[in-house]
Structure 1
């Protein structure tokens, strides 16, 4: 089969690729179970976010895994990193998350974690894909996998998150938390309250359809309004599956993933607790690289996608890396991106410095950066390869010279081509980005 369901985030469906159906989810669960059930007593965890379709796909995956003879534990709505943690914690062979992250409710898909809480290896992915091509054969009735609910899963994860915090108690901090009507709507605020913060929540009433709708890390206006109205210390925004975190300072200004990386890097450096270079991506702002190097630290860029960031971090011995979108990896605390854990690392730095969040990013002067998302029908790669598009990029690069850079790439989760232009002058960045985006649109017409 064409390996269309595995990408940098794992297996996906309904995210700009072939749609996932209950029938496919059933077959996928069975195929994964057949590959994983080579170990006696194989055990798989299933978690999900708050999308209504998650109930349907949970049942299908559960049935497929059981048909392959795999024991299943259902976790209910929990952040993606919680499933990765609990997979390790209970000694399961794999964890499955039903989520489409920051996408709208009508998208959904699945992501697999290995027994170590990492993404599946390419070899295992290929085995599962090959198994999907075979006819489904159910095990004998006495070999069917048992299914149960792991009722203490939220508390285990809350305890774990609290354990990653090494700063002073959060008493005295007024924090607004936007849960995106998603997977962190219960555990996120509870972690902060356990540590002593005064917490007010928004985006904490999921109905199955309002996940990421005008809320969360992709829509910060509501959080900004609430922080200013309450004169809060800061605001925290998660995405639908809570593996990302962005923030808003006391003035209502956005603190993005680049700024979060800078805050944590400077704090870790002061604690003599930073290993290797800081790892960003091709989308990381040039100002971040300059600020990190001023700290005397190395900075390396990975391709966009948390898998590539993680690969470069491991090969370079780095303990800190992440993306502008707020997907941050603190490998000294967690094996995967975790929005709650990320927020706690920033809060530890804020408490120790006893400064407002706005002051914590003062050492990072960002270059103007313009990002335009151009919708495409079909695959993006052929459009990126067109001569007219390539010529438009070369012309922009020539006009910018050493004062900027251009990046075109296909989104890993949506049918989009992302046009990014960075320049020392905002007007130049805007003009060049619009010129390239117009060329891409014309090519797609």
Structure 2
């Protein structure tokens, strides 16, 4: 379902642009109020709102409050908190809706609105479509809000920090030096508080948010600085978040960035060995490396694959009853604690594995052997359905037959760009590259590829 405002992860865009501006945000507040009142006609309604460190966050918060409070909605303001904290507080307070004002890893000029339902889950596409219908009906302007529009402060940081502190013993890593990059974002206060509670000596990067520097050359999108600092400081571990804290990137003690699929594999293997991986199943996306499947299979587990997007991961986790899933981009969901991707929680669970095994991260990552991967993005004039591309379909079938259980191919269109994405994984680099070249030639036969 193609929506006008909502994308794969809420509403996102340049603040002050054609979509995300003060008029739209106020109308969005009205629309959310009407949506909730339709589905909860006979009860008081409570919404919690959190934001990252972008300067525009307070303006968006005020605009939403104007639309919400004018319509009698009770609003709790969490201040600057990681996105997973919004999901948690929604559940703790039994609120009706959670709003995270963030554009995640985007630059400070962008911002966005992520919605969580009363279970702390990201909204369904169907619910987003219904909200868009209410937005289209609105004609209100910010000046229409009355003087009583306000929200009430709530210590979302404290609630979140205390929950994470409870995951390990105090001072359990008092001899560890950790490099921590909080991307000048929402985790700038929460992650240091938790890791210092565990006793870590921190070397901080990206810990001085000023409203304009979120993700600016720091954070999970720029792990080179993290790696360099780990090597320079001789740290045991490097941890980086994105702007809203739902993602994790780590470096081992050698300053080498750990692949996101290796991180998923480390957590899944540990859970398998401890008997805590529900149904012995890790939920991952089609983007994850086939080596993850092989690694878990040897240990008695399996990988369940879904379409790209952490919302899709969680939907399958809930359907199967699984407790661990994620994307190789660093979104990791540990459903026994949180129903949202949580970078700090994933880091804490990784530290727990290191403590229990006594192994450094460089050794743990070697237990998850990834297949060599070859990829190519082809810009195309038209996204012709793949089933109507005979040469490409034949090439895909041929590779499936050749690889069997020793490799795979993935062909899909980008959801946002006119591009065909090709991926081939095999037991050796030569086979991966050869398979990719076969797909490229087949794609050029069926599609008009723009060089």
Task: Please tell me the TM-score bracket, short chain as reference.
Answer: 0.7 to 0.9
Residue 238 of structure 1 aligns with which residue?
A: 241
Q: Name whichever of 347-356 and 395-404 sits farther off.
A: 395-404
Q: Name whichever of 32-41 and 170-179 sits farther off.
A: 32-41
Q: Which of 202, 205, 229 is matched with 1:202 structurally? A: 205
Equivalent pair of 1:397/1:406 in contact (CA under 8 Å):
no
**1:335 Cα deviation after fit:** 1.3
1:148-198 per-residue CA deviation (whole Å, 9 max, x = no partner) reads: 222x22111100111234798122111111111211111111111111111
Residue 30 of structure 1 aligns with which residue?
A: 30
Return the alpha-carbon distance in structure 1 between the equivalents of residues 125 and 342 of structure 2: 23
Residue 222 of structure 1 aligns with which residue?
A: 225
Gaps of 5+ in 2: none
Equivalent pair of 2:395/2:438 in contact (CA under 8 Å):
no
**1:410 Cα deviation after fit:** 5.0
Secondary structure (helix, strand or coil) at the match of 2:278 reads coil
Residue 324 of structure 1 aligns with which residue?
A: 328
After TM superposition, the score normalised by the length of structure 2 is 0.86
Return the alpha-carbon distance in structure 2 between the equivalents of residues 83 and 188 of structure 1: 15
Matched, 1:312 2:316: yes
**1:394 Cα deviation after fit:** 5.1
Return the alpha-carbon distance in structure 1 between the equivalents of residues 367 and 70 of structure 2: 56
Q: 1:115 to 1:387 in 2, by over 3 A?
A: closer
**1:336 Cα deviation after fit:** 1.2
Residue 306 of structure 2 aligns with which residue?
A: 302
Residue 85 of structure 1 aligns with which residue?
A: 88
Q: Which of 339, 350, 353 is matched with 1:349 structurally? A: 353
Q: 1:2 to 1:300 in 2, by over 3 A?
A: closer
**1:145 Cα deviation after fit:** 5.1
Residue 189 of structure 1 aligns with which residue?
A: 192
Q: 1:114 to 1:242 in 2, by over 3 A?
A: same
**1:227 Cα deviation after fit:** 0.3
Q: Which of 41, 55, 60 is matched with 2:58 structurally? A: 55
Q: Which of 342, 360, 363 is matched with 1:359 structurally? A: 363
Q: Which of 66, 70, 73 is matched with 2:73 structurally? A: 70
Q: 1:213 to 1:422 in 2, by over 3 A?
A: farther
Secondary structure (helix, strand or coil) at the match of 2:103 reads coil
Matched, 1:443 2:431: no
How many aligned positions are there?
439
Equivalent pair of 1:7/1:412 in contact (CA under 8 Å):
no
Q: 1:43 to 1:111 in 2, by over 3 A?
A: same
Return the alpha-carbon distance in structure 2 between the equivalents of residues 435 and 23 of structure 1: 51
1:286-308 per-residue CA deviation (whole Å, 9 max, x = no partner) reads: 11110011110122111111111
Residue 278 of structure 2 aligns with which residue?
A: 275
After TM superposition, the score normalised by the length of structure 1 is 0.88
Matched, 1:4 2:16: no
Residue 45 of structure 1 aligns with which residue?
A: 48
1:54-76 per-residue CA deviation (whole Å, 9 max, x = no partner) reads: 23322222212122221222222
Q: Name whichever of 162-171 and 242-251 sits farther off.
A: 162-171
Q: Name whichever of 399-408 and 335-344 sits farther off.
A: 399-408
Give the root-mean-square deviation of aligned CA atoms. 3.3
Equivalent pair of 2:10/2:112 in contact (CA under 8 Å):
no
Q: 1:269 to 1:209 in 2, by over 3 A?
A: same
Equivalent pair of 2:399/2:409 in contact (CA under 8 Å):
no
Q: 1:321 to 1:405 in 2, by over 3 A?
A: same
Q: 1:384 to 1:19 in 2, by over 3 A?
A: farther
Equivalent pair of 1:172/1:198 in contact (CA under 8 Å):
yes
Q: 1:32 to 1:250 in 2, by over 3 A?
A: same
Q: 1:153-172 alignment to 2 at 5 Å? A: 153-165=156-168, 169-172=172-175
Q: 1:361 to 1:40 in 2, by over 3 A?
A: same
Equivalent pair of 2:171/2:197 in contact (CA under 8 Å):
no
Return the alpha-carbon distance in structure 2 between the equivalents of residues 347 and 415 of structure 1: 41
Residue 263 of structure 2 aligns with which residue?
A: 260
Return the alpha-carbon distance in structure 2 between the equivalents of residues 209 and 431 of structure 1: 45
Secondary structure (helix, strand or coil) at the match of 1:206 reads coil
